[in-house]
Amino acid sequence: MKLDTVHEGGGLCRTIEVTVVQRQAPQLPPVTKFSPVADESETTGEELYIPPLNFAMVDNGIFRSGFPDYPNFAFLQTLGLRSIIYLCPEPYPEANIEFLKSNGIELFQFGIEGCKEPFVNIPEDTIREALKAVLDVRNQPLLIHCKRGKHRTGCLVGCLRKLQRWCLTSVFDEYQRFAAAKARVSDQRFMELFDVSSFRHLPISFSCLKR
């Protein structure tokens, strides 16, 4: 507290009390060094299941994704796969080969080059052979994948959708959902012109046709 004298007109004066408030700096919480959160699998004792990039279910017994890696193996085991439809020309990694062998999974490789527009060349004969492997129920459950699960996988799934009598708008919507900003006009053109009439004699057992 502090006393101040104030002079007023007429020679009078009066004394007032002035209280001085001491401002204190706000109390900040102590700075702690960042430490990464412990893996949930370590704290709960349960194994984590991590799906591959762009993973999705296409139909009963048919799945799609980007290239699966070691962290995805535990998840893939839960699918009970019989086959993998691999759409890249590069050799399959040794770790993936070992995973297939230890789980009794057969590998079907249909090498399609991953080119960018305007140099995209989608081999129709290769897509047809891959589609035959997908339709063979002896190969199901199966996983279709390329590198990112966008273009080559998208084209094969799109041709499958035509066989399932999807309209082109729905086929393109699904393709674009996975390809996003990387969607290619050439891919969509290929799916539009793909003739599925040669597959009509094959038995159709897709869930979307069971009504």
Site of tokens 């590998």? 107
State the Cα–Cα distance between residues 81 and 25, nearest whole angstrom.
Answer: 63
What would the two tokens of residue 118 be? 């305007």
Query: Which of 88, 115, 146, 208 does the annotation list as catalytic?
Result: 146
Q: What are residue 35's phi and psi, to 5 degrees?
A: -135, 135
**Number of Cβ within a 10 Å radius of residue 23:** 5
CB distance 81 to 142 below 8 Å? yes
Site of tokens 């209280």? 19
State the Cα–Cα distance between residues 179 and 159, nearest whole angstrom.
Answer: 16
Annotated active-site residue 115? The verdict is: no
DSSP state of 52: P
The residues, any chain, with a CB within 8 Å of residue 104's CB and separated by 6 or more, are 82
3-state class (DSSP) for residue 119 = coil
CB distance 158 to 175 below 8 Å? yes
State the Cα–Cα distance between residues 185 and 13, nearest whole angstrom.
Answer: 91
What would the two tokens of residue 120 be? 């995209």
Catalytic residue list: 146
